[in-house]
Amino acid sequence: MRIASWNVNSVRTRLEQVVAWLGHAQPDVLCLQETKVADDLFPRDAFEALGYQLALSGQKAYNGVAIASRLPLEDVQVGFDALLGPEATVLSEQKRVISALINGVRVLNLYVPNGSSLTSDKYGYKLQWLACLKRYLAVQEQQGDPLCMVGDFNIGPEARDIHDPERLTGGIMASEAERSALQAVLGERLIDAFRQFESGSGHWSWWDYRTGAWETGRGWRIDHIYLCDQLQGCATGCQIHKEQRGNPQPSDHAPVVVNLVWPPSDDTSADPDGFDDSWP
């Protein structure tokens, strides 16, 4: 079961790139962030032609999350208020949260607020949003479904996730409060799938448009896939498909993909990392 996450920064603008990548990478599930389109204008036909079902939560010009799956989508839940009720209505107005039960796994797709700057009201909103996510996950855990949580988290968790930690640590996306809030969300239940397989620095998923970051290799790893304890032992590989950032008019993010042997199998004959080694 191959699950991917990609902040496409407008699904209609990048549609050809997304369709081409789906044809090569063949994920079973693709979670999109920053779709930037109302649900009635989402380009359904292109995904359905490739055999993907869709679950959508979009809005015009901003935010937006979607799940595309070649496996049946069940029990789709949109927004924090799907589990938390009226207490989370305000934090559910921006379209940033969607989940579905897929092949017995709860796939949760998130677009965490950026926060803008440490002095912005948006920073306080980001911390409130993360605190709400923690409450949401506590309810989700009680439901008992294995959880794969993916998305653009807009946080570099550690120094090794940032190209210049000496300069950037303490600022937006690398502040102590953001990192602590993320760790509180994860608790002891969720681990970073990418770090199961790669401990070093230099692996980025986002390169700022504004600073020539792609050309100079100055990136951040802010797009993550987290697995609950039931799924951690099922992961056989996790990759960042950074070559997508080199496309003409690309998203500023690259896809991240995890491969899971799920349901667990005793068959060890398959490629151990679950990936096509010919893929760049």
Inter-axis angle of helices 176-186 and 121-143, nearest 10: 10
The pLDDT assigned to 269 comes to 47
pLDDT for the residue 105: 98
Distance CA 245, CA 214 (A): 8
Distance CA 261, CA 146 (A): 13
3-state helix, strand, coil in the chain (%, to 5): 30, 25, 45
Quote the pLDDT of residue 202: 97
Query: CA–CA separation, 113 vs 108, rounded Å?
Result: 16
Cα–Cα distances in Å, from 3 out to 22, 56, 174, 215, 235?
12, 17, 26, 28, 11
Give the per-residue pLDDT at 267: 55
- What's domain 2-260's architecture? 4-Layer Sandwich (3.60)
Q: What is the predicted pLDDT for the residue at 279? A: 43
What whole-number distance in Å separates Cα of residue 61 and Cα of residue 134? Answer: 27
Residue ranges covered by each domain of the chain: 2-260
> Could you write out the DSSP letters of every residue in 251-279?
-SB--EEEEE--S--S---S-TT-S-TT-
- State residue 271's pLDDT score: 52
State the chain's maximal CA–CA distance in angstroms: 54
When computed from its CA atoms, the radius of gyration of the chain, rounded to whole angstroms, is: 18
pTM over 0.85: yes
In angstroms, rounded to a whole number, what is the distance separating the alpha carbons of residues 158 and 181?
A: 13
pLDDT beneath 50: ranges in the chain: 268-270, 277-280
**DSSP string for residues in 184-240:** HHHTTTEEETGGGT--SS---SB--GGGTHHHHT--B--EEEEEEHHHHTTEEEEEE
- Report the C-alpha gap between 63 and 202 in whole angstroms: 28
Q: Which three-class secondary structure state does DSSP give residue 1?
A: coil
Q: 108: closest CA among 42, 189, 50?
A: 189
Buried b (16+ CB within 10 A) or exposed e, 217-237: ebbbbbbbbbbbebbeebbbb
Tally of CB atoms within 10 A around 166: 8
Give the C-alpha separation, 239 to 32, whole Å. Answer: 16
As beta bridge partners, residue 162 has 220
The per-residue pLDDT for 266 is 60
| Token pair in block for residue 82 | 């799907």
pLDDT at 264: 83
Q: Which amino acid is at 20?
A: A
